[in-house]
Chain A
Amino acid sequence: MKKIIFCLIGIALFFSACSLIDSDAKEISQLACIYPDYQQLTIPPNIAPLNFIIQEEGVRYKVRFSDTGGQNFTVSSRNGKIHIPLKKWAKLLDANKGGDITLNMYVKHGGRWFHYYPVTHHIAMDPIDPYLSYRLIHPQTGSWKKMGIYQRDLRSFKETTIIENSTLDNSCVNCHHVAANDGNNFMFHVRAGQAGGTYISRDDEIQKISPEIYDLYNSVGYAWWHPNGRFIVFSTNSVNGRDVNQQSIHLINGADSKSDLLVYDIDNNAFYTDSLVFNSKYWESYPTWAPDGKTIYYCRARAIDAKDHDDLTHIQYNLMKVEFDIETHTWSTPETVIDAVSMNRSIAFPRISPDGRFLMYTLYDYGVFSIFRRISDLAMYNISKQETQMLDMINTPETDSYHSWSSNGKWVVFTSKYPDGECGRPYIAPVNTQTGRVSKAFILPQKDPTFYSRFILSYNLPELYHTPNTFSPYSLVKATQQPGIPATVKKGPGTESYHKKKTEKTSLWRAG
């Protein structure tokens, strides 16, 4: 009985303290300075708590989370770090789908409480795909040692390892992609070493292939799965060199010596291509399959024999489309969708919304590494209206590049090097499916709100998906020990129509 009385007294004191703050606190008509910038957002109903730190001077901090229905809870802190309880947060969001929640922030300073202008978040009706995969690597990618691909559960702070290169002789693991937002269909490449090859995982079965594209390429690069999960369109790139002729010390650039497109049939272990997309006149890269399963959007630049750094400025890609028939393996004539070159611009990473209405891409000035161009910004192309709008709500003064759609088309994740200009960070933004407009983006929440101010690795190639990747490290290791299945071109233009493999490196510039 005594315990109950003490508890009741405690509860009464707690509520009286809260009400004391409310009534006595001095009102500040501006928003409190918080990090990360989680102010006035539209957020998915299934996102992990947006922990933040209040950067106002004070000795005590309180934040009351509430909704219009009377549900509320308070988080207190002595150092300004607001760690929101996961369950209470999830419950609050779930109860307010389509509505708003309010954050009242109180700071005690000089013996007095101050109440800042409340922050309101709108809770969207539609969830975001709950899994995000990304590669973590030091932003200076000229050299590497440890790197890996990881999977984050966006509903919590749980991060699991998909693959780490410590199990692969420290080889470079890169360019992963999931089929139709399904983490069970997952592919990635391992460069060099015994484990080198392209790994394709379908329903926990991992296949390792060793592409042999005539005598021109022995690996494939950027990939996109066909919606049916049986085909993958690849670009195959031969990187000529790197250049560090940039405004910032963080940046590098480079050029291909050649690149082309191929479609890979997983069931038949065969590549299909055509001189329309496999030729010496153009470099084809960054392919993506439209949801209709017929059209492939990709980027195309005029092939140049880049000899010095100034040649880099002439490497600019247009947005193209071509149709590929998966039954007959035939290609249509490529068409230009956006002529960026005429605007002295270049396009990379076209990504089509799941409803097929919009195409999001990176617009930058030149070169093959848009993620290292500070000028890179995101743009949205309305396919039916053939109109482009720059996504100014989410573009920053730093590099804004690689992006991925949620399976319901309501959310996108993209990497931005804002604010430090060095490390890519994953940002989430809501998309209006009618207009293609995006609203204010927010950085992927972390348990420790100061995480990004001290984390020295870069988030690379974020991909959203609804079903988690489940292949075990053991099955992966088993696959790495198998020899890669040679995969060759079954139908293509033949090498005679193509330039011969260059026996010597033509690179005149290299990263210092």
Chain B
Amino acid sequence: MKYKHVAFYSIIIYLASVLWLRFFAGHIFTFQYDHEPVFLFTREYILTQLTLSGGLSELMARFIMQFYVNPWLGAGVLSLMIMLLLVFAWQLTKQHIGITLLFWVVVLAFITIPTGNIAILIALYAVIKTLAVEQKFQSPTGIWLFRFIAVPLLLLIAGSWVWLYVICVSLRHVLQTRKMSGLVAGFLGASLLFALLSYRFLWVISPHMFFLGLFPFDSLTGIVLTFTVLLIIFYFTLPKFNHKNVTIIFSVIAGIVLIVITVINLTNPQRTTERWRGYLKTEHYSDVIAEAKKTSSLNRIQTLYVNYALAKDDQLFDTMFSFPQMYGTDGLLPNPHRGITTRNIDEFWFIGEFYYEIGYFDKAYRIACDQLVFHGVTPYYTKLMIKCLLAEGHVNSANKYLYLMEHTLFHRKWAQRYGVITHDQNMYLKEFASVLRFRSTKKKIISYDPSANLLTALERQPVNPLAFSYLCVWNLLEKNPAFLVDNVWVLRELGYSTLPRHYQEALLLYQISHPNETISLEGIKSNRDVVMEFIDFGNKFSQDKKPVYSIYKSMFDGSYLLYWFFTTNFEETS
């Protein structure tokens, strides 16, 4: 095939990859951008990575991932890598279209796993490219010399993927010569020695890491990817198939796989979660609410995000129970450390953001720190940490993290701006005005119990709209209306002239069980419609011997009363 054809098909593959990634797998960019370490343009960082076996592929992966800051940019850069990978795979398989197509689809499938490590693709690229280059050598001396040089280089670039290359070339040689020569044995021995050196003789600790370190055996897609690569190499090793039939078979398989992964991606709840997080980040709260209205069921993270969007859009007290609240307080403000193995990073994002916003910087800082310790210097959490430190006045500490952000491609300006803030009191006050007014200077315990934290925040500054609405709603979910009864005055301070729907429902429920108590409404008007609905509900409920949830839902949809009377077990209402 002529080069212009290669260029033409490459462009087609590139564009197809860009569009597919952007429209069917955009969530991976959001996810990885938030949770993967950012590439740092510092000598220490680069050298540290390079000294690790397979460190170059990790380094290049992080370089590519920094472009995920924009989904289009991310798709563009990632597609470029895929295109190059395919060109070399195509060369290696002696221009076999079927296998190349299948490989393309499998690569797409693999990178749409949010935790899929694209360093694997780079490692693959290195192995395939090495095999492709190797074919150009004619003399046996030249080829073996090349192989002895290639192994240590591949160890540096691709880590344990080197074994794919070593096994492949050894097998090929044995099959071609039909004997196990001393040269092959020497090559295998030398490869092992190189690997031992590369792993600083620590391979005994973890043979798995040594031989299979970068192999993605932790996911089905990863396994499929590995086997596809083996297929390519097998084809390269034993090219005795019927070219035409194989092309047809693999093209059909590729088509089917593409359809399957597209459907999977379209129905993947994470796709929704990541998109909603994008809305929240850009303060498009109404978009989250609008999409949630069209969704019949919400998972826990989605419930968290919807409740947050409602709070930010000032609708939490009025429409919260129009959305399924099947996770109780865990769907409102969970404790991220509730279990040793619990590390839901989508949840961490929300909790960090929430605590920062209510002026509880200690907690937000710890969330950010936790992420830093576990995932490295991720842009979002590092910025959160800087903001918390600056808000608390820890300029020297913040400077350390600002330095890191200054050595990134896309966050440099942000860091420079915050660097100025550290010296400029007016800019500081302007930047942190929205959160500093809630800052607690009182002694406090940062608890695992979110409601205790909310209470502490409010003890310092009761007029903290987000903290107050969350604590009220927490008590609604816990069916404890007494808290709301005691704090109507805060509602007045927050500027409410009419009682919000759920707040009023809670007061009415309390009044029923405490008929002798007078609830002061602090001059806030009650809503007559809510009272009428309450009476209707009460009348019907008292007459029904066996109340049926679905009937009540059709009549009183969105009412807190439904939650109050029908939710004894969070699974039931679902």
Q: Give the number of A-B contacts (CB < 8 Å).
A: 96
Q: Count chain A residues whose beta carbon lies closer than 8 angstroms to a beta carbon of B.
A: 34
Q: Indicate if the CB atoms of A245 and B394 lie closer than 8 Å.
A: no
Interface mask (B358-379 → A, CB under 8 Å = 1, otherwise 0): 0001110110011011100000
Contacts known (A143-B373, A250-B397); A473 close to B366, Cβ less than 8 A: no
Q: Indicate if the CB atoms of B397 and A138 lie closer than 8 Å.
A: no
Q: Indicate if the CB atoms of A420 and B202 lie closer than 8 Å.
A: no
Interface residues of B in 381-423 (CB under 8 A from A): 388-389, 392, 394, 396-397, 399-401, 403-404
Q: Indicate if the CB atoms of A244 and B362 lie closer than 8 Å.
A: yes
Q: Which residues of A contact B447 (CB under 8 A)?
A: 509-510, 512
Q: Indicate if the CB atoms of A474 and B374 lie closer than 8 Å.
A: no
- Which partner residue on chain A sits nearest B398 by CB separation? A420
Q: Which residues of B contact A256 (CB under 8 A)?
A: none
Interface residues of A in 234-290 (CB under 8 A from B): 243-245, 248-250
20 contacts between A and B (CB under 8 A): A138-B373, A140-B370, A143-B369, A143-B370, A143-B374, A168-B205, A243-B445, A244-B366, A244-B445, A245-B446, A309-B445, A421-B397, A422-B400, A423-B400, A454-B400, A456-B401, A473-B202, A474-B202, A511-B366, A512-B337
Confirm or deny: A419 has a beta carbon within 8 angstroms of a beta carbon on chain B: yes
Q: Indicate if the CB atoms of A420 and B363 lie closer than 8 Å.
A: no
Contacts known (A249-B365, A456-B404, A473-B200); A167 close to B205, Cβ less than 8 A: yes
Q: Indicate if the CB atoms of A512 and B363 lie closer than 8 Å.
A: yes
- Which partner residue on chain B sits nearest A247 by CB separation? B443
Q: Count chain B residues whose beta carbon lies closer than 8 angstroms to a beta carbon of A.
A: 34
Q: Indicate if the CB atoms of A455 and B366 lie closer than 8 Å.
A: no
CB of B440 to closest CB in A, whole Å: 11
Q: Which residues of A contact B293 (CB under 8 A)?
A: none
Q: Which one, B397, B404, B444, contacts A422 given CB within 8 A?
A: B397
Interface mask (A426-459 → B, CB under 8 Å = 1, otherwise 0): 0000000000000000000000000001111000
A-B pairs, top 10 by smallest CB distance, nearest first, are A512-B446, A420-B396, A140-B369, A454-B403, A422-B397, A244-B446, A420-B397, A249-B362, A249-B365, A167-B205
- Which partner residue on chain B sits nearest A418 by CB separation? B396
Confirm or deny: A142 has a beta carbon within 8 angstroms of a beta carbon on chain B: yes
Q: Which residues of A contact B401 (CB under 8 A)?
A: 456
Confirm or deny: B17 has a beta carbon within 8 angstroms of a beta carbon on chain A: no
Interface mask (A147-171 → B, CB under 8 Å = 1, otherwise 0): 0000000000000000000011000
CB of A309 to closest CB in B, whole Å: 5
Q: Which residues of A contact B404 (CB under 8 A)?
A: 454, 456
Interface residues of B in 436-456 (CB under 8 A from A): 443-448, 453
- Which partner residue on chain B sits nearest A454 by CB separation? B403
Confirm or deny: A498 has a beta carbon within 8 angstroms of a beta carbon on chain B: no
Q: Which residues of B contact A168 (CB under 8 A)?
A: 205
Q: Which residues of B contact A307 (CB under 8 A)?
A: none
Interface residues of A in 286-321 (CB under 8 A from B): 309
Confirm or deny: A15 has a beta carbon within 8 angstroms of a beta carbon on chain B: no
A residues in contact (CB < 8 Å) with B: 138, 140, 142-145, 167-168, 243-245, 248-250, 309, 419-423, 453-456, 473-474, 477-478, 480-481, 509-512
Contacts known (A167-B205, A249-B361, A422-B394); A453 close to B400, Cβ less than 8 A: yes
CB of A470 to closest CB in B, whole Å: 15
Q: Indicate if the CB atoms of B205 and A249 lie closer than 8 Å.
A: no
Interface residues of B in 269-321 (CB under 8 A from A): none
Confirm or deny: B9 has a beta carbon within 8 angstroms of a beta carbon on chain A: no
Confirm or deny: B1 has a beta carbon within 8 angstroms of a beta carbon on chain A: no
Q: Indicate if the CB atoms of A142 and B370 lie closer than 8 Å.
A: yes
CB of A382 to closest CB in B, whole Å: 35
CB of B431 to closest CB in A, whole Å: 18
Confirm or deny: B204 has a beta carbon within 8 angstroms of a beta carbon on chain A: yes
Q: Indicate if the CB atoms of B396 and A421 lie closer than 8 Å.
A: yes
Interface mask (B203-217 → A, CB under 8 Å = 1, otherwise 0): 011000000000000
- Alpha-carbon separation in the docked complex, A512 to B445 (Å): 8
Q: Which residues of A contact B337 (CB under 8 A)?
A: 510, 512
Q: Which residues of A contact B204 (CB under 8 A)?
A: 474, 477-478, 481
Interface mask (B187-210 → A, CB under 8 Å = 1, otherwise 0): 000000000000011101100000
Q: Indicate if the CB atoms of A512 and B366 lie closer than 8 Å.
A: yes
